[in-house]
Structure 1
Amino acid sequence: MLVSAKVDAQASFARTVAASCSYVHEESRRPAVLGPGGVFDADAAEACAVAEVASALSVSTGTVTEWLFLIRTARPAVREAFAAGRLAYAAFRTVCRSLAGVPNATEALLQRVIAAASRCTPGAVASAIDRILADFDAEWHRVVRERAALKRAATVRKLPRVKRS
């Protein structure tokens, strides 16, 4: 019963995300927003639709923009698992980000990733997917990890000296 309620809640949220993205998509195609010279401005129309959705749902425009990006870039199997409530939003987001750029992703790989993500706690999803991707294509995984390590940086800031009395 509890698992069913969880799946229903996740599917309900997925419907909210899908409906929001659908609304933005439809509204951004209507030539209601004109830019300089009376020309239709698709970017401005999308920004207006995003702001409408954000206001209606009391979320940030960044959140709605993230929903759009994830729905647009998610693989069909991942999108279906999210819509069915098998993936929580946090897991859906992690799966989409982790699979971005994976070459030759097979349906079997996607199903393994979805199964792992649906079983894991939110914090463990990324490492579980990372292990699956390392098994799938070790060379690609090594190159991607090395590239990511090169992009990492840390800034060390000295704290001001405080005189002690």
Structure 2
Amino acid sequence: MEPMRTEEPIRLLAVRETPLSLDEVFAAVPHTEAGGTALFVGTVRDHDGHAEGAAVTSLAYEAHPTAAARLREVAAAVVADFPVRALAAVHRVGELRVGDVAVVVAVACPHREEAFAACRRLIDDLKRDVPIWKHQTFADGSREWVAACELP
């Protein structure tokens, strides 16, 4: 029988315009029962993975008003499906440059295999289900909207 959880495992969730801190996210997830903590950091790269490697100079993320609520739903589903002791996820919106941190997620679980799997699920579901879209600017001056998520 699993011990009763006395504290909320979802420690930090945010969609914000200010630069993200890896330290803040990592500091949100320590737990005495966690033997493994997985952290994922997504950064703005200098090329697009879908537009035949076109050179990217900047991008802007925009969030739908329901993004924070959907992020909480995604986090709750990960907590329900894995032995998560602590979880944090923060996504940036607004104008970003190549190299800027766009998203940070962390998950602490009793074992590393669970932590890796839960962290992967968290970032994959966030990218697929949370209505945050990016507007890329390419070196040739062209622009493109990228939307992985449909409106709820």
Q: TM-score, normalised by structure 1?
A: 0.26
Larger Rg: 1
Q: TM-score, normalised by structure 2?
A: 0.28
Higher RCO (C-alpha 8 Å, min separation 6): 2
More strand by share: 2
